[in-house]
Structure 1
Amino acid sequence: MSLSQRDQKHNWHPYTQHKTASPAVAITKGQGALLWDENGKEYIDAIASWWVNPYGHSNKYIADAIYKQLTSLEHVLFGGFTHEPAVVLSEKLIEILPSNQRKLFYSDNGSTAVEVAIKAALQFHYNKGTTKTKIIAFEDAFHGDTFGAMAASGISLFTEAFQGSLLEVVRVPIPTKGNEDKALAVLNDFFATNACAAFIFEPLVLGAAGMVMYSPEVLDKMIALCKEHSVFTIADEVMAGFGKTGKTFATDYLVNKPDMMCLSKALTGGTIPMAITTFTQEIFDGFYDEDINKALFHGHTFTANPTGCAAAIASLELLQTEEMQENVIRINKHHLDFESKIINHPRVETTRVLGVIFALEIKSERKESYYGTLRNKLYNFFIENGVVLRPVGNIVYILPPYIITDTQLQKVYQTIEDALENV
């Protein structure tokens, strides 16, 4: 029995309707930007395995850091204890985060990083004796699958079964080009009731919505409006952080900095689940009190796991190398060249590029569903041709590991061109 057949006996995969889905591809090895399945077939991982793996699979530098940590201290509870990897990681992150970020809270994935931020925003006002219970978020946002993160998300396919069980969230249109004034006006209207605790956003690019992009200038205006009305801002950098947009963080493009930031995915280079929510001193001080009930009662068993911290430290060191920074520039240049080549293709509606992110929208007579027929045909075509890409409806995007070679990148582009002609 093959590995993929054995998998079907017991494993329940994410975002999968098992009655109609093809068997999962069984991967047995990864190296650099490549993966190999149980039959020896080679694939280019053109989305860095859901955006987590910028330094390549089986990265020796990160693996060595993990091994070294495992042989000295694999884990210790973070309640009442601390350890050097957590302290060193906090020091390294504070050096590169926006200067208003002063405190770090550890968790285990992007959803929980968002959950911590939302809980902190709501409890801050509760601690102060004020009533602010609403969250502001973009239409079509995606912030995760735990309940607070799901509430802030706007993709109904993922959330419609839970309507009526979620936090109250008000929606702002995505401020794409030509839509900025409307988005700003809608946001401003929400402040009239004085009931909004926080505005959460994916800075500059909404990943799960199909890499929808908007300008730093309009986001700066939105953050300024929130500050004017004492509404906290939460930058969900889970996807965009650690170089994806061409800067270390997407918020590095901004003049006005958020009050909280959510980090995960590439934080540990795709090795160990870990997340961090960062805060201003003002927010931390809202919990700093003689009253134990005003503490932030959140955590989990593996909070600030030393091995995960060691992986994150190694990942940050790799990100800051000259080679990796040059790779980001190199990929961006190739994306722009491909955009120039493909933008006038008769089947291409629009294209967009930011940092290592490339996206194109295929012309369609009707709006394609998230897991619709066209998406599935495209996905299968890419897999058959040895390229891992996961289209969002009729939007095809590339978000590769930074170590992808020019030859591998050109094959990804060619496969997309072939799909435009054949699917």
Structure 2
Amino acid sequence: MSTLLIKNGTIVNEGTIFKADIFIENEIISKIASEINIVADKMIDASGLHIFPGVIDDQVHFREPGLTHKGCIASESKAAIAGGVTSFIEQPNTVPNAVTQEILEEKYQIAAKTSYANYSFMMGGTNDNLEEVLKTNPRNVAGIKLFLGSSTGNMLVDNEETLEKIFSSTKMLIAVHCEDEQTIRENLEKAKEQYGDDIPVTQHPVIRSAAACYKSSSKAIELAKKTGARLHVFHISTGLETELFQNDIPLEEKLITAEVCVHHLYFSDADYTTKGNFIKWNPAVKAATDREKIWEALLDDRIDVIATDHAPHTLEEKSQKYLQAPSGGPLVQHSLITMLEFAKNGKISLEKVAQKMMHNPAILFKIEKRGFIKEGFFADLALVDLNSDAWTVTKENVLYQCGWSPFEGKEFTTKVQTTVLNGKVVMENGVLNEERFGQRLLFNR
């Protein structure tokens, strides 16, 4: 048995902030009290630090298998640990797409050997793999992922009959990327008529418009209501979409939930002039007015979760012209500190950060014994310094395999100091442990 005692920390958990000690035996939190005086194998003095549950990022693309020139499970999960992200749910648009049980299980086998963080992978739906989708084990797979806008390979699900069959046939959580493909194609043709092949990146939110997002997400929600499906809408990017969601029932009772990503809370279309393709995501970063409406919906609980949609590409790929440059960017190392900076500036409370990044992902995915600082739960913790010396994101201090960050040049005064994963100290005072203690997530369903 290994034991760990964390003394003098300020815990942020379940809507409260309080000082307490935490005693951990093996992987589990065994005691939380105002003062614990037990001799442990290791002791951490957390004086001056805030202790959060480890972040659960419900949407990442770690690029393995098939796209490992951009990133891999090892590299990106290590960056996640450095950012206080202890659990991730990865998406199926790798190569080959995870659209059979065999390919899905191969990803789990890779993670079992290489992941620094806890992991789960989503099963991908297509227009013709319903039989495979229905074989998915709800106990050890996070959910079903459907792309209702273009994606890698054969993952665009645009057959309405197939969609209704999937929604009607499974009680598993169905997560969706919502952008209407026809609307995007029409907008792209207009842009080509105006600019030829040299479309400026400032046209990205015009091409992948608010209307394209709203048309797709409203249709998905209508279908979920018709079939009783459990729907989770990824990366809300428009103010209009926020009106589709409820805040008048507890999260545990919601059948339709929503996520926002850090980049849609931080950037606006004004940033394309300086950041260019480095903030080119799908769905697009849109107007500042959209950003403010999203913030309102996040704070009043119409939007339930904050995630990243972490999706690395190489500098070479991102440096191409708009039409050739792929969408997506790396974020897991900087998601928690970005939200903590917002908290320091009064935009969101620390308790709300814990709710949206740790508690709610655990609740809506029904993750077993994670997402909270509770006795009997796994000891996944992020110890953060809210008043660190100022430091700046540079290429030299990012851990992403792609070697860049959309936050380069940004100064932070918060820092993830130490990360605990399954009771093991995997980063201490900013220094990462090379041992791997990640586990496959399990779900109470």
TM-score by length of 1: 0.29
Would you tell me which structure has more helix in proportion to its own residues?
Answer: 1
Would you tell me which structure has more strand in proportion to its own residues?
Answer: 2
